[in-house]
Amino acid sequence: MDETSKLKIVDKALGMLSRRAHSAQELAAKLSRGKDASAELTAYALSECRRLNLLDDAAFARDLAAELASRGCGELRIRMELRKRGVSPEAGDGALAAVREDEAERAELAARFKLKSIRPDEPPRKKQEKLYRFLLSRGFPPQTALAAMRKALE
């Protein structure tokens, strides 16, 4: 592992992190795709990014969870996205704790938003089904989705 290779892979990692935050697993996967990348070089780049405090899975998880929550996603969807991006369950649980409190409120806002796009002459049963399916697809638990649907239709 020569110095030129080290500099190149760290530069590549810094470039990726300058565009958007990544989890350690995500960054490692992207770095290892390169033709010159070895497991040793990838590990070196990750350690350098951690040393510079540019790679922190817990902070990444908190930021992603907050962003998805602000877009109206529920806990289940956020958990799935965190898992998909390679965040450890411990870091994910910490991030979810911060957004869990206002989940019912987010579900109600999402239901009201969706209700605007449903035709007013739609039969009540159809409205309920559409709202409920929408909330479930956003990652809200069934009980939360049901309560939000009922409040939006009142």
Tens-digit pLDDT profile for residues 98-108? 888 889 999 99
For residues 115 and 151, is the Cβ–Cβ distance under 8 A?
no
Dihedral of the alpha carbons of 26, 27, 29, 34, in degrees to the nearest 10: 150
Using CB atoms within 10 A of its CB, is residue 142 exposed (0-12), middle (13-18) or buried (19+)? exposed
Position 154 pLDDT exceeds 90: no
| Mean pLDDT within 63-89 | 93
Architecture in CATH for domain 3-51: Orthogonal Bundle (1.10)
Parse the chain into domains and list their residue ranges: 3-51, 57-100, 103-153
Q: Are both 3-51 and 57-100 of the same fold? A: yes
Tens-digit pLDDT profile for residues 32-48? 887 777 889 999 999 99
Three-state DSSP class for 151? helix
Going by CATH, does the domain composed of 57-100 fall within 1.20.58? no
